[in-house]
Structure 1
Amino acid sequence: MIKNFKIITLCGSTRFKDEFMEAQKDLTLSGNIVITVGLFGHSGDEEVWKPGVKEMLDDMHLRKIDLADEIFVINVNGYIGESTKREIAYAKSAGKKVSYLVPIAD
């Protein structure tokens, strides 16, 4: 936590761009520092699919989780893909709180 602001990293499939933007807005207005994805590969950012870029972005996202107090998972209709599952496991192993857009039973 920095001063009185919790740092939250958003995780989830980049196909849910609108939901990412809404969560970013809501969490920011609730007084949080929000870290999110830089590109939406499944929503039209074609640069993601160039050689080596997705791997770099995946590693960078783990570093964003390192910076956070918790992660917020954008799991529209309960969907959690493989990359997001890996990020959740990484966050939990680092002792980070994990919250979900759509509540799930842990």
Structure 2
Amino acid sequence: MSDAKKLSGLPRIVVICGSTRFMAAMNEADLRETAAGRIVVKPGCDMKSPHPLWSAPADAEALKARLDDLHRAKIRLADEVLVVGDCIGDSTRAEIACARSLGRPVRFTHPEVDPGTED
């Protein structure tokens, strides 16, 4: 797909990863990446904020699984990953591992939280 994107003249695609508790920082990163001429994809749901779509525990659990799958698809689509936030949880750590296994470059707003490569 990368070759097809290059041939079509599409700008680089950056996927933003990190905990949704950093949504304000993600929005700022989106603004900066967009201003730099990159296409940005990021989490579209903040399940840490109340909403009828995930108010029932069973609904929340099913939606979380679908959103995790969707975010991994965004990582596969992207040319690179930008991890936002000053701490890394299990989900973000798995996203970083996924990106690196696909050969995607990973940048961090806080490089000190980079878990490094996992052997």
Equivalent residue, structure 2, for 1:67? 77
Equivalent residue, structure 1, for 2:97? 89
- Structure 2 unmatched ranges of 5 or more: none
Flag as ranges the 4+ runs of structure 1 deviating above 6 A. Answer: none
- Matched ranges for 1:1-106 at <5 A: 2=5, 3=9, 5-45=11-51, 47-48=53-54, 50=59, 51-75=61-85, 78-104=86-112, 106=116
Higher strand share: 1
Seq. identity, %: 38
Count of matched residue positions in the alignment of Structure 1 and Structure 2: 104
Report the TM-score, using the length of structure 2 for normalisation: 0.79
RMSD between superposed Cα atoms in Å: 1.7
The secondary structure found in structure 2 opposite 1:52 is helix
- Structure 1 unmatched ranges of 5 or more: none
Higher helix share: 2
Q: Which amino acid aligns with 1:71?
A: V
Partners of 1:5 and 1:43 lie apart in 2 by: 32
Report the TM-score, using the length of structure 1 for normalisation: 0.89
